[in-house]
Amino acid sequence: MTTLPTKQNKKLGLVIDLDICVGCHACAVNCKEWNTSGHSSPLHDIDPYGDDPTGVWFNRIHTFEVESEINGSKTVHFPKSCLHCSDAPCVTVCPTGASYKREEDGIVLVNPDTCIGCKLCSWSCPYGAREYDEEAGIMKKCTLCVDKIYNENIPEADRVPACVSTCPAGARSFGDLGDENSEIFKLVKERNGYDLMPEQDCAPTNKYLPPREKNNQFSSNKLQSITEEKEITFDSWKEIIENASK
Amino acid sequence: MHPSKSIIFFTVFSGTGYGILICLSFLAFLTNINFDSNFKLNLIIATFVFISSGLLSSTLHLGHPERAWRSFSQWKSSWLSREGLAAVITFLPLMIFYLLWYLDNFFYIYFLHLTSILCLITIYCTGQMYATLKTIPAWNNKLVTPIYTINAICMGALTAYCFTRFYEFEINYLYHLTIVSLSLCLFMKLVYWYIISKKIISTANSATGLGGNNNISLFEGPHTGKNFLTTEMINKIKKEKANFLRLCFSVLTCILPIYMIIQEPSLIIDSFILKLTFFLVLIFALIGMLLERYLFFIQAKHTVSLYYGENKV
């Protein structure tokens, strides 16, 4: 059914620490690696070795420049994957019931056998978590590595999503965000973890931890532009060099 | 949003077919619509071709059209499912109406009204499917569903009017209905364009959560090429081009037909010119409506663009 479960026993999700993430893209690569042979396999690539390659990825890392009055300028690496929302709009818009949220752990999945590939779920997701597989003609998305976290054939320590187990910096945590006694819940509370786009009313499960404020002598000094012109053209460089050589 | 050809064709053509039926049902309250059987047959074929070609086209954008039947199951929660179901159910009274109308059986009138209610429900479901998407501020708008409805009604009225010109036939009140609905359509679009130019739902700050007043800009995208999200949901059109297309729509679909309908007495001298004129009026109006639907998609910004360099949506 495409209605949301009335109760959720668990809220499995990720917590991403933007203070730690170094933007190495290892989580995205390992996500592709695991999932291309897992529940949603294969994650097709189109024109992979050509001029204009595209393909299905469940996790993508954006990098933002944040300019603030107090902290100056900083670079923030921002990994983004499905947030497994409690009020997931992608589930209720599905006309076939292929898109569903599991009652037992809150994971949002797509049934590849009943998806008709209408793409409406991808339109309804504010975060761009869903990606359409052109070759397979169906929608695909992060499964929270449902085929890894419950897999009894692998050591217990490895039963976490691929993005979490591969992160070299430890920026990603996995756990039950519905359990107030869990380590991950305490972490979110302690570090003021927040929701992305709360105004969209999706109640995302995944939380983001903000970068810590860096109060040192350099942080408040904004870099000064060496030219008054906003756009630096070849001529303006020539002028600067000429002025400097005088 | 990516303007998918099959969806644009679907809304314009099925909408026109539904619109003709809604207009007939409306006119039935005012006048006798038991026309001569030749004209009836023309309208029957036209509405059927418009509606079914549109519906067939709508399945073309699916990844798995052969599974389309599955979409009838989730009518409790999904507007798309309701739309599909309503569109299919409409065919039942429609077929009975066609038969009874053609055979001059008086009961056709009940089936016509029933069909037209179901047509309105189908259009309402289509509109709601877009209007309930909070991620796209240009669509999450109270005017979207009424515009879908008026688009269908004015195109239906105009098509029926052009048909009366081709077959030299008169339907009372259709003249007024066509002019009023076309004017209303243009008026609602003007209001809609004004509203969407003002509305903002989300910003890059709320999308990343990186501070309320900080200036946030994309430093590096996740990859150098395109992906599904950028091709499907991040499409841009230059403002000048969009304004030109808006003008084209206003002239081709609303102003030109109204002008020609009012100027018609001066054309009556030559029946061939009259027919040709109204044939072109109909074609141009359809082209204008296709442009309007194209703009509806291409000008709609999705919140995902906030992760790809946009500052506010």
**Is residue A5 assigned to a domain?**
no
Question: Chain B: nearest CA to A99, how far in angstroms?
Answer: 11
For chain B, positions 132-151, list CB contacts with chain A under 8 A: 132-136
* Per-residue model confidence (pLDDT) at position A230: 60
Percent of chain B with pLDDT over 90: 85
Asked if residue B269 is part of any domain, the answer here is: yes
For chain B, what is the mean pLDDT?
94
Tell me how far apart the alpha carbons of residues B130 and B1 are, in angstroms, rounded to a whole number: 12
Residue A118 belongs to domain spanning: 12-209
Is residue A87 assigned to a domain? yes
Q: What is the pLDDT of residue A225?
A: 67
Q: Which residue of B has its CA nearest to A131?
A: B228
Residue B311 CA to residue B306 CA, distance in Å, equals 6
Cα→Cα distances A206→A146, A175, A191, B295, Å: 16, 10, 14, 35
**Location of structure tokens 């071709």:** B49
More confident residue, A21 or A238: A21
What percent of chain A has pLDDT above 70? 91
N- to C-terminal Cα separation, chain A: 76
Q: How far, in Å, CA of A68 to CA of A72, rounded?
A: 5
Residue B103: HSE in the Cβ half-sphere, 13 Å Cα cutoff: 10
Could you give phi then psi for residue A20, rounded to 5 degrees? -100, -35
Q: Which structural domain range is residue B161 located in?
A: 5-308
Residue A245 has pLDDT above 90, yes or no: no
> In this complex, which of A93, A136, A208 lies closest to B80 when CB atoms are compared?
A93
- Chain segment A176-230, per-residue pLDDT in tens: 999 999 999 999 999 999 999 999 999 999 999 999 887 666 655 566 666 665 6
Q: Find chain B residues with C-beta within 8 A of A209's C-beta.
A: none
- Residue A95 in domain: yes
| Residue of A3, A132, A134 lying closest to B81 (CA atoms) | A3
Phi, psi (degrees; rounded to nearest 5) at A152: -80, -5
Q: Does B239 touch chain A (CB under 8 A)?
A: no
Residue A97 lies in a domain: yes
Q: Is residue A242 part of a domain?
A: no
Cβ-contact A118, B80 below 8 angstroms: yes
Q: Which helix (H) or strand (E) holds A100?
A: strand A99-101
How many structural domains does chain B have? 1
The two tokens of residue A224 are 């000064």
Hey, of B2, B200, B228, B230, which one would you mutate to test binding to chain A, going by the most A CBs within 10 A of its CB?
Answer: B228
Residue A176 maps to a domain: yes
Q: Which residues pair with A79 in a beta bridge?
A: A61
Residues in chain A with CB shorter than 8 Å from the CB of B307 are 62, 78, 80, 127-128
Which pair of tokens denotes residue B71?
A: 């979409």
Report if residue B208 sits inside a domain.
Answer: yes
- B313 within some domain: no
The DSSP secondary structure of chain B, one letter per residue, reads ----HHHHHHHHHHHHHHHHHHHHHHHHHHS-----HHHHHHHHHHHHHHHHHHHHHHHTTSS-GGGGGGGGTTTTT-HHHHHHHHHHHHHHHHHHHHHHHHTT-TTHHHHHHHHHHHHHHHHHHHHHHHHT-TT-TTTSSTTHHHHHHHHHHHHHHHHHHHHHHHTT---TTHHHHHHHHHHHHHHHHHHHHHHHTT----BHHHHH---SS-EEEEEE-S-SS--HHHHHH-----HHHHHHHHHHHIIIIIIHHHHHHHHGGGGTT-HHHHHHHHHHHHHHHHHHHHHHHHHHHHTPPPGGGGGGT-SB-
Helix B144-166 crosses helix B271-298 at what angle (to 10 degrees)?
Answer: 160
Is residue A117 in some structural domain?
yes
Task: Output the pTM of the full model.
Answer: 0.90
> Which H or E element spans position A122?
helix A120-124
Which of A86, A117, A91 is closest to B232 using CA atoms? Answer: A117
Considering only the beta carbons, identify the residue of A54, A92, A199 that sits closest to B226: A54
Distance (Å) from the alpha carbon of B77 to chain A's nearest alpha carbon: 6
Tokens (6 digits) for A84: 């497994």
Which of B84, B206, B218 is facing A197, going by the closest CB pair? B206
pLDDT in tens, A106-151: 999 999 999 999 999 999 999 999 999 999 999 999 999 999 999 9
Q: Considering only CB atoms, which chain B residues are within 8 Å of A32?
A: none
Q: What is the pLDDT of residue A213?
A: 80
In 3D space, the residue among B104, B209, B117 whose CA is nearest the CA of residue A83 turns out to be B209
Residue A216: the pLDDT is 63
Gap between the Cα atoms of B246 and B299, Å rounded: 11
Which residues in chain A touch residue B138, judged by CB atoms under 8 angstroms apart? none
Q: Give the closest residue to A83 by CA, choosing from A211, A200, A196.
A: A196
Question: Smallest Cβ distance to B210: which of A76, A80, A92?
Answer: A76
Find the CATH number of the domain harbouring A204.
Answer: 3.30.70.20
Nearest-angstrom CA–CA distance, A224 and A172: 35
Query: Do A54 and A196 meet the contact criterion of CB atoms below 8 Å apart?
Result: no
Answer for the pair B182, B253: CB distance below 8 angstroms, yes or no. Answer: yes
pLDDT for the residue numbered A241:
80
Q: What is the model's pLDDT at position A74?
A: 86
CATH code where residue B285 lies: 1.20.1630.10
Residue B15: predicted pLDDT: 97
Domain count, chain A: 1
- The number of CA neighbours under 13 Å toward the Cβ of A135 is 12
pLDDT in tens, B7-53: 999 999 999 999 999 999 999 999 888 888 899 999 999 999 999 99
In angstroms, the separation between the Cα of residue A48 and the nearest Cα of chain B is: 11
Residues of chain B whose pLDDT is less than 70?
Answer: none
Contact across the interface for A93 and B217, Cβ inside 8 Å: no
Q: Contacts of residue B208 in chain A, CB cutoff 8 Å?
A: 64, 76, 78, 196
pLDDT for residue B214: 86
A-proximal residues of B, 176-215, CB under 8 Å: 201-202, 204, 206-211, 213-215
Which residues of chain A are within 8 Å of residue B62 when distances are taken between CB atoms? 116-118, 137
A235 band by pLDDT with thresholds 50, 70 and 90 = confident
Any idea what the Cα angle at residue B145 is, between residues B144 and B147, rounded to 5°?
65
Tens of pLDDT along A47-65?
Answer: 999 999 999 999 999 999 9
Chain B CB contacts of A3 below 8 Å: 76-77
CA separation for the pair B57, A39 (Å, rounded): 32
Residues whose CB is less than 8 angstroms from the CB of residue A226 and which lie 6 or more positions away in sequence, other chains included: A240
> How far apart, in whole angstroms, are the C-alpha atoms of residue B54 and residue B14?
5
